[in-house]
Structures are given as C-alpha cells and as structure tokens.
Amino acid sequence: MPGKFGTPTDPDYALRLAEFEARIARGEKIEPGDWMPEEYRRQLVRMISQHAHSEVVGMLPEGAWITRAPSLKRKMILIAKVQDEAGHGQYLYHAAETLGISREEMLEALLSGRAKYSSIFNYPTLTWADIGTIGWLVDGAAIKNQTMLAQCSYGPYSRAMVRICAEETFHHKQGKEMVIAYAKGTPKQRQMAQDAINRWWWPALMMLGPHDADSPNSEVLIRWGVKTKSNDTVRQEFINEHAPEILATGLSLPDPELHQDPQGNWRHGPINWEEFWSVVGGNGPMNKERLEARRRAHTEGAWVREALEAYAAKKSPIPMAV
C-alpha cells in the first residue's frame, strides 16, 4: 500500500501526523494499511522483531533442562512453557510482518548477529533452580513490560500481547511455586534457590532497559502510545512486587542497598550498566553459544521449510498443466 508510511518531506505530512496523533489520543488502534509515520513503523519493526527474537532465543536456556527435569510434572510444565515461547515468537513475527518486513529479513538479521534480543538470555542456566528463578523473575519482568505493551497503539502488537500475557502468567506462577518449594526444602535446595536468585536478580532488573535518562527512543514511543510507561516506572513496579515476595520466602536479595522508602517503593542500589552494555554488545557469557545454537537449528530445520513449501505447492488451487 504505497504512501501509507509518511515522512516529514511529504506535502501533507503535518496534517496526516496531526490526524494520526489525534487517533492515538482518542485511544484508537492503528491497524496495518492505516497511514502512519515511517518512524512509527521503523520503531515498531525494531521493537516487535527484537521481542520475537527474544522469545525464540529464550527457549534455549530453558530447553537445555528439559531432559534433566527432576520429575514428570516439572518436565511437562517446562515442555509446555518452552513451546509457549515458540508460539510467542510466531505471533510476534506475524505482527512485525504486517509492517512490511519479511520473516526472512528478520531471521537474517538475527542469524547474522545484527539484530538484538533480550540481554537476559545471554546468561547461563547453571542449576535446576535457575528454571524456577527464570519463571519468577524473568517472566515476571516480561509480564510487567508486556502488560504495558498490551495497551500499545498498534493493533496487531497489542492483540499479540494480550494472548501472550495470559501464558506468561502461567510461566510466572510455576516459577514462583518452584522457588518457594525449594526455599522451604532441604538446606541444599535452599542454597541452590538462593544462588539462582543471586545470579538472576540484577540481570532481571537490567532487562527492563536503561534508565529513562539514557533511553533515547522512549520519548517518541510514549508520545505515539507504543509504550505507555517508562523503563524506570516498569522496573519500579517489578521490584515493588517481587522484592517483598522473595524476602518473604526467607531468601535474600543480592543488593545491600535495597530498602523500602516512606512512599512504599522498594529502592535498589546502583545497576551495573557496564555489564548490561557489554552483554548487549555481544560479550555476555553465552552470546556466542546462543547464536550458534540458533544458526544450527535454522540449518538443521531447512528440510522442514522445504517440506512445508512442497506441501503448500501441492495444495495450491492453481491447476497443474497436463
């Protein structure tokens, strides 16, 4: 649909932009095919594709533990969770495709290392307690962000988020249940849960993004209703819910400066942003392994894509020449 992505050099840009912003202010959703600024499209493609990549790469640290789950129940839960994440990737790639980018372009960006995905998935899962901790903290942080994005002004992204959040809630609950069980378990289980919380707490705070003052895209994203809350606001909501719940289990948090202020907000000590940017820049503990695993899966899955194409061609309504 040519012309639907406006740029400031278009003669009617100011008028169209005013109409677009008025629609957002009225709470209307922007749908594929509607006029939108090219910058809105670009920001959404960046965010949705990064989000899709995060769902798919996020399957790796947990998938590695499916064969080592300690019981059938835990194994079934983990298999269901990892499958859900694949589904989330699917919804999100579809949502991004409505903005005129192809699946192949997005995958090429991921596999070539150009695209980003959530920094958190570049940390290793060292023990079984990491699986519960990821559910509680990582899915917990994701829900805070995704509940906000379910209000997003772009229809397909917002609707994908509503479905995804319903499943994330299950991921969060199963993780919380597991960590609470180990916190009440044997000294060894308790120590394992504490070690996992110690390692995942700071990366979970970091995954909600840089402080507002260092988040260059935030202003335009908030103005156009893509984000409705800033990174620091979402992080505060996450800490306010999770810090007291974790402390209530008798486990501790690895932040000596953590305290509740008179307004009831839990305040954290300084975040190591150097570590965050190093991981985002490709130098986290598992960046290379994660990308290699994705590339290998893509190559080994080539036959599936070929088979699907052959099947689609066979079912094509176009009559074959005889």
- Which residues of the chain form contacts with Fe ion (CB under 5 A)? 55, 85, 88, 139, 168, 171
Q: Which residue has tokens 């300690």?
A: 70
Whole-number minimum distance, CB 205 to Fe ion, in Å?
Answer: 18
Which residues partner with 260 through β-bridges?
Answer: 266
Whole-number minimum distance, CB 142 to Fe ion, in Å?
Answer: 6
Phi, psi (deg, nearest 5) at residue 316: -60, 140
Whole-number minimum distance, CB 136 to Fe ion, in Å?
Answer: 11
Residue whose CB is less far from Fe ion, 88 or 268: 88
Integer Cα distance of 82 and 191 in angstroms: 26
- Backbone conformation region of residue 3, classed left if phi is above 0, alpha if psi is from -120 to 50, else beta: left
Residue whose CB is less far from Fe ion, 46 or 173: 173
Residue whose CB is less far from Fe ion, 168 or 237: 168
Whole-number minimum distance, CB 78 to Fe ion, in Å?
Answer: 11
Phi, psi (deg, nearest 5) at residue 267: -100, 135
Whole-number minimum distance, CB 36 to Fe ion, in Å?
Answer: 26
Residue whose CB is less far from Fe ion, 111 or 165: 165
Could you give the angle at the alpha carbon of 61 between the alpha carbons of 208 and 271, nearest 5°? 30
What is the separation of C-alpha 82 from the centre of its chain, rounded to a whole number of angstroms? 14
Q: Which two tokens stand for residue 250?
A: 């008798």
Q: Residue ranges of the alpha helices (H) in 184-286?
A: 187-206, 218-223, 231-248, 273-278
CB 242 within 8 A of CB 140: yes
Residue whose CB is less far from Fe ion, 171 or 242: 171
Whole-number minimum distance, CB 12 to Fe ion, in Å?
Answer: 40
Residue whose CB is less far from Fe ion, 130 or 139: 139
Residue type, 116: K
